[in-house]
Amino acid sequence: MDPRHIAFVVQAIKLMALGCRTKSYTERFNKIDADELGARLKANGGLREMVIYVSQAEQYSIESTWESSPIAIKTLQEMRAEKNA
């Protein structure tokens, strides 16, 4: 896999962990641990799904990269819920 694709996905994970907005109309979320999120995504296959998507897509964005992996979205939501509990 191309290291640039992996780097893009890693940055997308870090941005979401920071709670950054990826659309003009989305809310800002509390910060979560990016390393923990990355580790969970690596363990459950979400990271792999996202990297495969980026490597095969003609055009991609942070949003579309996350949408390519339901596992990743679920993991992100679970970590945010844990943080807010």
The number of folded domains in the chain is 1
In a domain, 53, yes or no: yes
CA pair distance 72, 24, nearest whole angstrom? 21
In a domain, 44, yes or no: yes
Residue 17, CA distances (Å) to 45, 57, 58, 63, 77 in order: 18, 23, 25, 13, 11
pLDDT for 64-74, tens place per residue? 999 999 999 99
Determine the pLDDT at residue 52. Answer: 97
Determine the pLDDT at residue 79. Answer: 94
Degrees to nearest 5, angle at CA 13 with 11 and 16: 110
Tell me: pLDDT of 1 over 80.
Answer: no
In a domain, 24, yes or no: no
Residue 3 host element (H or E): helix 3-18
For residue 12, give its domain range.
3-19+30-84
pLDDT for 10-65, tens place per residue? 999 999 999 877 666 666 788 899 999 999 999 999 999 999 999 999 999 999 99
The model carries a pTM of: 0.87
Contact, 49 vs 68, CB < 8 A? yes
Determine the pLDDT at residue 27. Answer: 67
